[in-house]
Chain A
Amino acid sequence: MKIVVCVKQVPDTKGGVKFNPDGTLDRAAMLTIMNPDDKAGLEAALRLKDQYGAEVTVLTMGLPKAEEVLREAMAMGADKGILVTDRVLGGADTWATSQTLAGAIRNLDYDLIITGRQAIDGDTAQVGPQISEHLGIPVISYAQKIEVEGDSVIVERQFDDRYHVLKAKMPCLITALAELNEPRYMTPGGIFDAYKADITVWGRADLKDVEDSNLGLKGSPTQIAKASDKVRKGAGEKVNLDPAASVDYIVEKLKAKHVI
């Protein structure tokens, strides 16, 4: 089985957020991590690899620095890393990003594509399903459990108050929730191996069947009018009471603030 996992290097929410003058994120200036939903998607792929045997390729689009997230994925057990980086791809919204990633994936053999549900910096949950549209394959989003049966996947899709069990023939795309699993740690030996391994670097010219008009900031229908860091809330208050007393306590507080 060949699995492609799309991962994104995102700002570490523990660090500060910095913006470019055009309102896009200044990614080079921030501490970064692998997006948590993507990490769960990678873990799901690695578990399928452990169980059934698979070749896991991690794919990311980003600045040259995004290579780090591929090394991290390889240190966890991924087999190959592909970085798509090019100035003309900068400032991409979800549309341009999914076009770029689909253009890269068209060069690869795959049975399964796994992406995270959404990235913690954009929170759109659009890129995964859009990739499946561009490639013309089925998508199952919000996966909380993944199993493989023959040439199909059986996925529990999280829903408001229940979950749906869906079956899809491969090749298909799944978007993973962080709750899907507890991702494994890198291993020390894996880290040194990952830095010895070659990372494939692709630019605009390597993308297959994608129009220039669908790429980068110019190809992005979304235009950011204004962006700002979120207003930080106070630490809040923790109380340790039994459930009944807690309800009374909260109601009193809400009354005092004239919320109710």
Chain B
Amino acid sequence: MDFMLDKQHEMVRTLFKEFSEKEVKPLAQEVDETEVFPRVTVEKMAKAGFMGIPIPKEYGGQGADVLTYAMCVEELSKVCGTTGVIVSAHTSLCCDPILTFGTEEQKQKYLVPLAKGEKLGAFGLTEPGAGTDAQGQQTKAVLEGDEWVLNGSKIFITNGKEADVYVIFAVTGMIEKRGKMMKEISAFIVEKGTPGFTFGTKENKMGIRGSSTYELIFTDCRIPKENMLGAQGKGFNIAMHTLDGGRIGIAAQALGLAEGALDRTVEYVKERKQFGRAIGAFQNTQFQLADMATKTKAAQLMVYAAACKKDEYTKNPKVSYSVEAAQAKLYAAEVAMEVTTKAVQLHGGYGYIREYDVERMMRDAKITEIYEGTSEVQRMVISANLLK
């Protein structure tokens, strides 16, 4: 058991930190304010290899481990939650399922340009009636000759309008399971520009405002038969597997937000004077900071442990990282919300003003308790494992 990072991981951290400070931080406020997707940053990240970190080199990726990927999302999110989730959704929710379940042809055609960052990925599972309850899916896919015909819509899709490749889930029939008729769900790879695939409403969000969250609409959208991802009827398993991995990305995003808010607060309390001394000299401030730092550190260890467990899974598929991922996401998200809220409080009135980063970080943090499985879903996953 070794809690120290080796030299390689120390150096990747230096890289991600330097990139985030120089390329991402200066844009964070504007991205939030204007809701403009940071396309230029994505292009720079592609060049630096950030868009395919845990993808093997033969598929255009960096061949690095999940820990490195988590550290990338963490460092980006320290300065900009939007940029963190762009990388997380692209890598965990689009590259990963194609790597895990795709055919060799699908990997060559879709994964290689995705991992190189030439294309951006997204994932469409959620529908108006199907959030936590994936069985509520209404989007249908019907096989007609050599094509699947998709009809329906997906909502709250991260990287929505900016992506090029989408992993989409749809009902392909009904099957009997334990005497009950259940929807058979399958996964598909859909390209932007396919006739019948359009975009609906852009969501006006509380946080991560530059991340392009859109509704995807499929109207008689015909996709080639060979674009089914994995076997027919395996969509639910693919979605759950994908979200297990995605949770590590979101946990890393939450961790980064907590760390960023803590950093800003430490700077602020040294500068801000009240009653003739820096507010950092007051014991209340010191104790608050101590708690914030301790919980953030605990979150970091859980996120890194979950990432390392997924690395173990890559070597031995019998290893499960589902519980560790759920625990890391549950804890890191709640810590992010608590730490960013305290950060705003310690900033006093200034913390409530847009000019101060902690205001944005608190809004960004809330979503980490909701997307890719709410905190309640994480508790279900964790307790189901305890009581099985």
Contacts and interface: CB of A to CB of B under 8 A. Distances in A.
A191 B8 CA distance: 6
Given A71-B11, A72-B11, A75-B11, A188 B57 contact: no
Contacts of A72: 11
Interface in B10-66: 11-12, 15, 18-19, 47-50, 53, 57, 61-64
A195 B11 CA distance: 10
Interface string A63-107: 000001001100100000000000000000000000000000000
Contacts of B53: 188-189
A186 B8 CA distance: 12
Contacts of B8: 191-192, 195
A200 interface: no
A72 B8 CA distance: 10
B72 interface: yes
A186 B64 CA distance: 13
B68 A188 contact: yes
A186 B15 contact: yes
A88 B49 CA distance: 41
B318 interface: no
A75 B61 CA distance: 15
Contacts of B178: none
Contact of A188 (B7, B18, B47, B64): B64
A71 B57 CA distance: 20
B48 A189 contact: no
Chain B, interface residues (CB within 8 Å), range: 10 to 19
B311 to A, nearest CB: 13
B7 A189 contact: no
A248 to B, nearest CB: 29
A184 interface: yes
A187 interface: yes
Nearest to A187: B49
Contact of A187 (B7, B18, B48): B48
B19 A189 contact: no
Contacts of A185: 15, 18-19, 47-48
Q: Which of A68, A75, A185, A188 has the most CB of B within 10 A?
A: A188
Contacts of A190: 49, 62
B11 A186 contact: yes
Contacts of A189: 49, 53, 57, 61-64
Nearest to A193: B63
A72 B12 CA distance: 10
A171 B19 CA distance: 35
Interface in B198-237: none
A189 B19 CA distance: 15
A234 to B, nearest CB: 15
A224 B72 CA distance: 44
A71 B50 CA distance: 19
Contacts of B15: 75, 185-186, 188, 191
9 contacts: A185-B15, A185-B47, A187-B48, A189-B61, A189-B64, A191-B8, A191-B11, A191-B12, A195-B8
Given A185-B15, A187-B49, 9 more contacts: A184-B48, A186-B15, A187-B62, A188-B49, A188-B53, A190-B49, A191-B12, A192-B62, A192-B68
User: Which 3 pairs across A and B sit closest by C-beta, in order of nearness?
Assistant: A189-B62, A187-B49, A185-B48
